Amino acid sequence: MKKIQISPSILSADFSQLGIEIKKLEEAGADMIHVDVMDGHFVPNLTIGPPVIKALKKHSSVMFDVHLMISPVHKYIEAYSEAGADIITIHPEATDDLKSSISKIKKLNKKVGVSLNPETKIDIIQNVLDQIDLVLVMSVNPGFGGQKFMPEILSKIKNLKKIQEETKISFDIEVDGGINFENSKLVIEAGANILVSGTTIFKSNNGDIKKNIELLKSS
């Protein structure tokens, strides 16, 4: 079984002090930093772009797990790579040629992730699983933090785990959306090994980030 890793989402951080918040996350034991990039087009929200990521990267030595919710995504991949993304995750619906976009990320020596929205079937990425490093399973409809976890995605995680076991293809299974201390156990049991969490990490237990990360890891 793969080690459970926590990728805190800075979408729930204090945006006026992002550099300080990232330092806190790193000191509290975060395995990576999850950065949600939204364009107001692919999803109904706007967040941050390459200049902010480049500035924040100076405050951290852990990996930046950058989730691109932008369309068309292909032409922006290089900019986020140069800004400091270590993992670049894209949506199959946001590119005209998924294999070409995956290849572009790999040529930039970055880890590749592909994200599945709640309604997106595994079939759409089945033929690229041997080319990627992680599958990000969305357990909410992307766009905003603080949404409720959708339990119906547990079967998708289980199916991905089954594919892993049957094909011996190695990739991480990451889950993002409404993750808390209760459902984290369910997603880990289903087969996930990376948990993205924002509200739970920043707001639970009076904002004790270290304690919250430890509790999620020990789910």
Q: Give alpha helix (H) positions in 29-139.
A: 50-57, 77-83, 98-107
State the catalytic residues.
36, 176
Q: How far is CA 119 from the centre of its chain?
A: 17
Q: What is the pLDDT along the chain (219 residues), one digit of tens a residue?
A: 789 999 999 999 999 999 999 999 999 999 999 999 999 999 988 899 999 999 999 889 999 999 999 999 999 999 999 999 999 999 999 999 999 999 999 999 999 999 999 999 999 999 999 999 999 999 998 876 678 999 999 999 999 999 999 999 999 999 999 999 999 999 999 999 999 999 999 999 999 999 999 999 998
Question: 3-state secondary structure string, 96-122?
Answer: CCHHHHHHHHHHCCCEEEEEECCCCCH
Q: Residue 215 to residues 11, 33, 181, 210: CA-CA distances in angstroms? A: 20, 17, 7, 9
- Going from N- to C-terminal start, the domains of the chain cover 5-217
Length of the chain: 219
Kindly report the pTM of this predicted structure.
0.96
Domain 5-217 class, CATH top level? alpha beta
